[in-house]
Structures are given as structure tokens and as C-alpha cells.
Amino acid sequence: MSFLQDWYRLLTQPKTAFVQLKDHASLTDGLKNVVAAGLVYGFFFEIVIGMAPNARLFMAIAWAASVFVLESLLGVGILFLFAKLLSGNADFMTHFYLLSQFFVPVMFLYAIVSILASYLFSPLFLLIPVVYLFGLYLTTLALREAHGFGLERAVAAWLILPVLLALIAIILFFAARFAFSGGPGNPH
């Protein structure tokens, strides 16, 4: 199957698409997906900020794509660790491949909404959270298929990191507030 057919099926029939794609897991194809998504991200991000086509544009696209690829690899790796903590049974290649499959189509959706909202109709920015939630839905389906999770474990796998980060932020906020207030009992 071609990448375009896979991406279309992921947008229209994601459950069956992940089941079929699992048997074709490949680290190389996963990396191709992440690099392609990074290029889409870099290209559309630079268009949204209004950069004119020149050598700087291509450097900016390459930079944005590189950052996207590194962030994606780190994010998928962290998600893999949390899935393993929850008794996930996938190897990294299957985990990475299934998650990378929807990066490009979701990035295109995000880019289209962003461009339309930037240049045509500002309230379309309200659709960006919908695209984000769709990405979380696809993440959940990919984790379920890759690791054999039920819905609760798949959601828990991607929810662990935001919850931990929120807890750390709250602790740091109160620690800073305590430190700069002069300690307990000081009204200032």
C-alpha cells in the first residue's frame, strides 16, 4: 500500500487501518513518516508566519523539520516507557511505526486549519483543539493496537506525562511562592 492510501485510511477508518498496518511495522518507514511530517510542519509553519520564499525559508524549514523530528522521537520514546510501565507488550519498532503513521495526515490537518485561520477566517483557530483531540484519539488507537491495551491503559499511557508535568509545575509554583514570601508566617 502507498503512504497516501495509508494516511487516507487513518483519517477515515483508523481502527482498521492500525490493525492492518501493525503487520508491516518498519523502523525505516516510521522514520520516513516522522521526517515527512517534520517537513510538512516546517513548510506550513514558515508559510503561516509569512516568510518569503528564499534561501532563509529553506533553512527555516530544515530547522523546523529537524526540531520536529527530534521532539517526535523523544515523545514517542517517553510514551513507549510509560506504555511499558503499564505492561505494554509491543517492541519499540511496532510502537514507533504505528504512532508515526498519523503524524503526516494530522500535521496536514493542523496546517490547513492554521493557514485558513491566519489568512481567511480567524475563528477557524477554534478547530485547532479539535485536530489536537483527533491526534490524541489516533494515539489511543495506536497504543491499543501496538500494546494490546484496553481503552483505559491506552489513555493512561499518554496521560501520565501531562499529569506529571502539571504536578511538577504546581509544586514549583508553591515552592517559589514560599521561597519568595520569606517563609511561613511572613505576610509579605
CB neighbour list of residue 38: distance below 8 Å, 6 or more residues apart: 64, 65, 66, 67, 68, 69, 72
Kindly state the DSSP code that residue 144 receives in the 8-state scheme: H
pLDDT of residue 50: 63
Angle at the Cα of 170 (from 166 to 172), degrees rounded to 5?
115
Place of cell 525505516: 28
Residue with cell 515552592: 175
Task: Please list the ranges in the chain whose pLDDT falls under 50.
Answer: none
- Do the Cβ atoms of 38 and 69 come closer than 8 Å? yes
Rounded to an integer, what distance in angstroms lies between the CA atom of residue 118 and that of residue 114?
Answer: 6
* 68-78 burial: b if 16+ Cβ within 10 Å, else e: bbeebeeebee
pTM of the full structure: 0.83
Q: List, in order, residues 6 or more apart from 179 with CB less than 8 Å away.
A: none
What is the chain's length?
A: 188
Task: Say if residues 88 and 129 touch (Cβ distance below 8 Å).
Answer: no
* Owner of C-alpha cell 517563609: 183
Residue 187 has what pLDDT?
58
Identify the pLDDT of residue 40.
84
Count H helices, E strands: the chain? 8, 0
Helix (H, G, I), strand (E, B) or coil at 179: helix
Looking at residue 7, its pLDDT comes to 82
Q: Are 183 and 172 in contact (CB under 8 A)?
A: no
Taking a C-beta distance cutoff of 8 angstroms, is the pair 30, 97 a contact? yes
